[in-house]
Homo-oligomer: A and B are copies of this chain.
């Protein structure tokens, strides 16, 4: 099959690789219908996260079960399924608690020896614990299929940030980061009943999507000016709940500064300097909490799925460029250049 391989920073190729097969009886093989490129893939693309040359890449996909191992009980060949960005056994203490990202047998697509999502098919370990079934009818609904793909990462990750930030009915929420996760954070905050949602971002195409998703205010400034603007919108206090969806020192610093005393920063931006942006003295004096991390998306899919199926929540606008499998390297470049927000792959 054809799959995406990373050889070095900025060296993404689509190559012929061995077809995946059921290796363990709990495996399934999924033929990919939709995949995409994540903002976090860019850390590897830019060489800021280490990869071994030849590693697969991509961790978001949905598709059709092609073969299920003898011990897979929940899926049959032909089932339409979505995969979260981490596989998990579904049996351990952490899986039972909904923290599948801490499953001792879990792992990330594209880690050494594993298939990545940006290919024609994927061997899925622990299929019963990992995959979630989708209605068969969705397979013929192009728009819905794209929306459902967001369940594999960005929508669940935005939701995790909103939960971490403590968004509830009536909250004032601020979102730092205008990438797909930040935008899904807006969507999730709206879904959880936020009354006011302030989106921070300079790119009008993106902030326009934020408004569609429920943002009531947009702050285009950065750094101290952004902090001042948010404070002005919130009677000098800041937002109850702040979503940090970038991961840099500056974004975390801004997030802390715009949080209201007693509020929380829900962070899902993979840390690339963001630890340095945490001013603990400020957080201490103002009782600002920090909660988040790698999102246990598998736990959230059952909760979010009905709203995506009904159309009440539609994250599909975050995908603004579609490519075939051979267009993946160009897709990375487009996202790195910020000419694309999030690239959809139809292998």
Contact = CB atoms under 8 A, between A and B. Distances in A.
A284 B49 CA distance: 15
A269 B42 CA distance: 38
Nearest to A164: B289
A60 B57 CA distance: 58
A286 B97 CA distance: 13
A246 to B, nearest CB: 13
Which of A279, A281, A293 is packed against the most chain B CB atoms within 10 Å?
Answer: A293
A286 B281 contact: no
A84 to B, nearest CB: 14
A225 B264 CA distance: 32
A275 interface: yes
B262 A102 contact: yes
Contacts of A99: 261-262, 287
B287 A270 contact: no
A284 B261 contact: no
Number of copies: 2
A333 interface: no
A261 B164 contact: no
Contacts of A284: 267, 270-271, 292-294
A142 to B, nearest CB: 35
Contacts of A262: 94, 97, 99, 102
Interface string A95-109: 001010110000000
B286 A289 contact: no
Contacts of A290: 283, 289-291
Interface bracket on A: 20 to 34
Interface in A243-262: 261-262
Given A97-B262, A102-B262, A280-B278, A296 B287 contact: yes
B275 A271 contact: no
Contacts of A264: 291
A274 interface: yes
A291 B291 contact: yes
A1 B97 CA distance: 59
B279 A275 contact: yes
A285 interface: yes
Contacts of A296: 287
A288 interface: yes
A149 to B, nearest CB: 24
Contacts of A293: 283-288
Contacts of A94: 261-262
Nearest to A269: B284
A293 B296 CA distance: 27
Nearest to A93: B237
A261 to B, nearest CB: 4
Interface of A: 94, 97, 99, 101-102, 164, 261-262, 264, 267, 270-271, 274-275, 278-281, 283-294, 296
7 contacts: A99-B287, A164-B289, A267-B284, A271-B280, A287-B292, A288-B293, A290-B291
